[in-house]
Amino acid sequence: MKLYAILNLWALTAVVANEAARQRDPIWLVLWVAFVGLSVVLHEEMR
């Protein structure tokens, strides 16, 4: 279940990164950094 959550989060991150590249809007970059940070925190919590 936790692995699924991480994979889901990374898929979402990829979508956000794609939007950031397409739109060139700073808010998407901020969201991407937030998603990456969240996934790192979640990964550390699960150890």
Q: What is the pLDDT along the chain (47 residues), one digit of tens a residue?
A: 677 877 887 888 888 778 777 877 778 778 878 888 888 887 787 77
By the 8 A CB rule, do 27 and 8 touch?
no
Query: Alpha-carbon torsion 38, 43, 46, 47, what sign?
Result: negative
Backbone φ/ψ region at 24: left (φ over 0), alpha (ψ -120 to 50), beta: left
Coil vs helix vs strand at 9: helix
- Looking at residue 9, its pLDDT comes to 79
What token pair was written down for 23? Answer: 């739109």
pTM for the predicted model, two decimal places: 0.48
